[in-house]
Amino acid sequence: MSESNEKQERFFGTYFDRDGVIRITRVAEVVSWVILTIYLLTWIFSLLLFLSQYFNGMYFAKGSETFLNTFSVFSPYLQMPIPGVFYFFALQGFSKALLILLDMEDNTRRAARK
């Protein structure tokens, strides 16, 4: 309760701008969602295009059509969204790490004042 009644004073001895760090975290979160959305939409459209071409007979093997031949044509579509998911988690982790570091700095400063 006493923390909410305290006046938020700005300490000019820091090496960073708190508002700038928060802005960077928000931008990283938004960019991570945009990247994930783009990768997933690209994957869905590519998968739908492949499936429509496959079932219309545009993909066929010379000779017998086996499961492994079909899977070898289909397997790259399973790997397409993986980089987007990694970028998403990396940017989200970066954002949360910056917020954790801000909290640690704030808690250390509060503890030093008491």
What's the confidence (pLDDT) of residue 98?
A: 92
What's the confidence (pLDDT) of residue 88?
A: 96
Q: Which of 37-41, 69-73, 75-79 has the lowest mean pLDDT?
A: 69-73
User: Is 91's pLDDT higher than 80?
Assistant: yes
**Which has the higher per-residue pLDDT, 73 or 89?**
89
CB 95 within 8 A of CB 27: no
pTM: predicted TM-score of the whole model, two decimal places: 0.72
Q: Which of 5-9, 25-29, 47-51 has the lowest mean pLDDT?
A: 5-9
Query: Where do the domains of the chain lie?
Result: 18-113
Distance CA 90, CA 10 (A): 31
